[in-house]
Chain A
């Protein structure tokens, strides 16, 4: 496992807020030279701590006004049903996230839709028809916030 110093942590905090900054701008904010910043970013990427970058979009401006989290319990379990379910659910374009979990549900999905009527269509035509799907619970996302986590 990679060892981080305070500068690495500050760098990760800055990048998780805004990954679009140049190495020069990042360095200035942290009191590092541009090459030193670049070397540190490279090291964090090589260690897979920085696993990638992602653009943040205004989902509503793109016509996706509704995000729903679904908890799904499978009706039948067994290796085959897990594999069939996972294959089918990951192929649904409206499903952004699929997590296998332990607890009240077997899977947790993040689903985007244009509006509630569109969500109903996705739920009925795509989710309820998945192989082995049992109980489904839906919660509509109102707000979300990413936190810097244990970096500070």
Chain B
């Protein structure tokens, strides 16, 4: 079970994963040794599963990001599996999410510019299997993006 110290550590770490252990300990009001021990325990318990790098695709020349929302043809029993397996082979897809709701699957697609996006959309997205409907939301700006949880 998590106590208040664990929660304070996680809150700080979720807000800033690159923080040094000594600084983290100070912010959470514990000694560095306690901080180490607690983090080890949270990792061992699987509460902290790992650490991943955030890549800024714009800095690599990918100026366009589109959220494509799919409704799939559910008369095929394997439509989800086949759609997702095919989507994994599209290099411009940086995220795949499945949902309960009006949307079945969402793909996060990046492209260098609108011309490139049109190419990806026509050649690689429209050829994915079992699509019943597609809606596109084009990203204008990210106002907030935090891994923070109100723990």
Interface residues of A (CB under 8 A from B): 1-2, 4, 12, 15-20, 47-59, 61-64, 69, 71, 86, 89-90, 93-105, 108, 112, 137-147, 149-150, 152
Contact = CB atoms under 8 A, between A and B. Distances in A.
Given A49-B55, A63-B151, A98-B144, 7 more contacts: A15-B52, A51-B54, A56-B50, A58-B47, A62-B10, A103-B138, A104-B137
Interface of B: 2, 10, 13-14, 17-18, 45-57, 59-62, 67, 88, 91-103, 106, 110, 135-151
A27 B55 CA distance: 19
A99 B139 CA distance: 7
Contacts of A62: 2, 10, 47, 149, 151
Contacts of A144: 95-98
Contacts of A104: 135, 137
Contacts of A59: 149
Contacts of A55: 13-14, 17, 48, 50-51, 147
A149 B53 contact: no
A47 B59 contact: yes
B93 A147 contact: yes
A150 B91 contact: yes
Given A55-B13, A57-B10, A149 B52 contact: no
Contact of A16 (B17, B53, B97): B53
Contacts of B150: 93-94, 112
Output the residue of A90, A104, A140, A142 with the most chain B CB within 10 A.
A142
Contacts of A137: 101-102
Contacts of B93: 147, 149
Contact of B45 (A54, A61, A112, A141): A61
17 contacts: A12-B53, A16-B52, A19-B17, A47-B59, A49-B59, A52-B18, A56-B48, A59-B149, A61-B46, A99-B142, A102-B137, A108-B137, A139-B100, A147-B94, A147-B95, A147-B96, A149-B110
B138 A96 contact: no
Given A1-B59, A18-B52, A144-B96, A53 B143 contact: no
